[in-house]
Amino acid sequence: MTALEQAAEAIKGARKILAFTGAGISVESGIPPFRGSKDSLWENYDPDIIHLDYFHNHPKESWEFIRDVFYKYMSRRDILPNAAHKFLAALEREGKLTAIVTQNIDNLHQMAGSKVVWEFHGTTATLSCEHCGGKISAKEVDLEEEFPPRCEKCGKVLKPDFIFFGEGIPREAYEGSIAATEGVDICIVVGTSGLVMPADMIPIMAKRNGAKIIEFNTQPSKFTEEGMTDIFVQGKAGEEMGKLADILGIEI
C-alpha cells in the first residue's frame, strides 16, 4: 500500500480527526513559507521587524513591512484556498474532522469553509489597540488614508492581532487548541516544519492522547525525523490531498 492509500484507510476508520497546519499548506495558494526555500520570508527579511520591541520603538518601519507582506500581498484576490484547505473543510462537513489548529494567519481555512479553526498565532483579520483595548476589523482600515493606522478612541498606533516575536499565544486559541487534542484518533499534520514552539506541542499532545499522526510535507519535518509520524505522505499538500479526496470519494 502507498502512504496515500494507508492514509485513506486510516481516515475511513477514524471517528475524530484533528488537523494541525503550517505555512506549507498555503504555498500552492501563492503564499511563501517563512523557512525552507529561497522564497521564504526570512531569507529575504530580518524577522526582528515584527519583534514587539521593534514595533514599539519603530512602528512606522514595522508597519511598512506588515502592510506590504500581510495586508497587500496576503489579501490579494488571487490568493485562494487550494485543494488541501478544501479537503480539510470537506472532512469537517463529513463529521470526521472536529477542529483545525493552524499556525497560519492567512484566513484560508475559513475561506475554504472550515468552521472550527483555532488560530494559534492569531489573525490578520483584526487590529487592536494595546493602549485602550479597542478592536477593529482590518477591512475597516484604509492604510492609504492613515499610516500607520491609529485607534479611533485614543489615537495610539494599532497592532495586528497576529502574534509578534516576543508575544504570548492568545489565551482562547491556546486553550481551545489543547482541548482539541483530546480524544482524537488521527492528527493530520500539514506543511509545517515543527520548529515553532509551543505550537509543536499540539501534535505531540494528540499523539500522547492516542492519535495516529498522518503527515503531508514536501520534505521531512521535525515530527518525521523524530519518528513521531506514523504515515508520511511526501509531496505538495494540495496535490496529495486532492488525490486523497478522490480515493475517499469526498467532494471538495
User: Any idea which residues carry the catalytic annotation?
Assistant: 121
Q: 228 in helix, strand or coil?
A: coil
* CB closer to ligand NAD out of 151 and 216: 216
Please report whether residue 106 would count as binding ligand NAD according to CB under 6 A: yes
Query: Residue 193 CB, nearest distance to ligand NAD (Å)?
Result: 3
Phi, psi angles (nearest 5°) of residue 5: -65, -40
Please report whether residue 82 would count as binding ligand NAD according to CB under 6 A: no
Q: How far is CA 143 from CA 64, 97, 151, in A?
A: 10, 37, 13
Q: Which of 103, 114, 177, 229 binds ligand NAD (CB under 6 A)?
A: 103
β 186-190/17-21 pair status: parallel
Cell of 97: 474532522
Cell of 126: 483584526
| Neighbouring C-beta atoms of residue 58, cutoff 10 Å | 13
Query: Residue 208 CB, nearest distance to ligand NAD (Å)?
Result: 20
| 16-35 binders of ligand NAD (CB under 6 A) | 22-24, 26-28, 31, 33-35
Please report whether residue 7 would count as binding ligand NAD according to CB under 6 A: no
| Neighbouring C-beta atoms of residue 29, cutoff 10 Å | 20
What is the binding site for ligand NAD (CB under 6 A)?
22-24, 26-28, 31, 33-36, 41, 103-106, 121, 191-193, 195-196, 216-219, 221, 236-237
